[in-house]
Amino acid sequence: MKRAALYLRVSTLDQHPETQLYDLRQMAAQRGYQIIEEYTDRISGAKAKRPGLDSMMHDARRGRFDVVLVWASDRIARSVRHFLEVLDELNRLNVEFISFREQIDTGGPLGRAVVVIIGAIAELERNLIIERVRAGMRRAKLEGRHIGRKPLVLDRNAILRDRQRGQSLSQLAKGHLVSRATIHRVLKEHASTILEKSA
């Protein structure tokens, strides 16, 4: 018997997931699935934070179920790209995806073909994004713009002077607007230099 997870999302608080729930429970019963968990989000599909979906994906990674049932594909994702990402991850975890409205079932041969096509589209999109980023970086270099984080400007002498005055690593980090690790590195480099000169 396959273990199933039901995922439901309603866009606003005045909508009720009961219709979706009834259809999905009936589908699970018809296919002989054991419902392990029902995850619900009462939130817009465009919202990034989806506690129900996040919880479901966490449980999928732990292998709690074999199949995910949704009422419609647009219930599970906020965009086509997000839908592809979710479907791709479920496929990698060997979790089947079934959509009640579109009759998508990644467990059958046609469904697996759909996953292959979706995977190819997702890979193409990722490659296009990478190429656009690279093109942007090339253009920025040609225009003489700096790429990445700005180099850290440190007044090493001031740090060493303040350390000699008895300031702690935390005080130095706060006073010079850098991390404790950076302060530690500066002091270590200074100590190494002194050792080299005395050798």
Kindly provide the b/e burial profile for residues 147-184, where b requires at least 16 CB atoms within 10 angstroms of the residue's own CB: eeeeeeeeeeeebeebbeeebeeeebbeebebeeebbe
Q: Do 92 and 167 belong to one domain?
A: no
What pLDDT digit, counting tens, does each position of 66-106 carry? 999 998 877 887 677 788 788 889 988 999 999 888 777 88
Give the list of residues 6+ apart from residue 107 with CB closer than 8 angstroms, or none: 67, 96, 98
Residue 134 covered by a domain: no
Q: Is residue 125 part of a domain?
A: no
Domain housing 41:
3-105
Residue 21 lies in a domain: yes
Please report, for the domain that includes residue 55, its CATH number.
3.40.50.1390
Of residues 11, 55, 99, 198, which has the active-site annotation? 11
Residues 8 and 101 in one domain: yes
Does residue 11 have an active-site annotation? yes
In a shared domain, residues 85 and 179: no
> Which pLDDT band, with edges at 50, 70 and 90, does 44 fall under?
low
Same domain, yes or no: 161 and 97: no
Residue 12 lies in a domain: yes
Distance CA 115, CA 15 (A): 31
Q: Do 36 and 64 meet the contact criterion of CB atoms below 8 Å apart?
A: yes
Residue type, 125: E
DSSP characters over 19-55? HHHHHHHHHHHHHTPEEEEEEEEES-TT-S--HHHHH
For position 29, what pLDDT does the model report? 95
Same domain? For 33 and 92 the reply is yes
CB of 66 within 8 A of CB of 95?
yes
Structural domain includes residue 140: no
- The CATH number for 178's domain is 1.10.10
Is-above-0.75 flag for pTM? no
Asked whether residue 133 is assigned to any structural domain, the reply reads no
Number of domains present in the structure of the chain:
2
Q: Give pLDDT, residue 59.
A: 96
pLDDT at 199 over 70: no
> Is the same domain home to 10 and 92?
yes
- Is the separation of the CB atoms in 75 and 20 below 8 Å? yes
- Residue 86, domain member (yes or no): yes
Q: Is 104 left (phi over 0), alpha (psi -120 to 50) or beta?
A: beta
Residue 37, pLDDT score: 95
Domain assignment present for residue 111? The answer is no
User: Is the predicted pLDDT of residue 45 greater than 60, yes or no?
Assistant: no
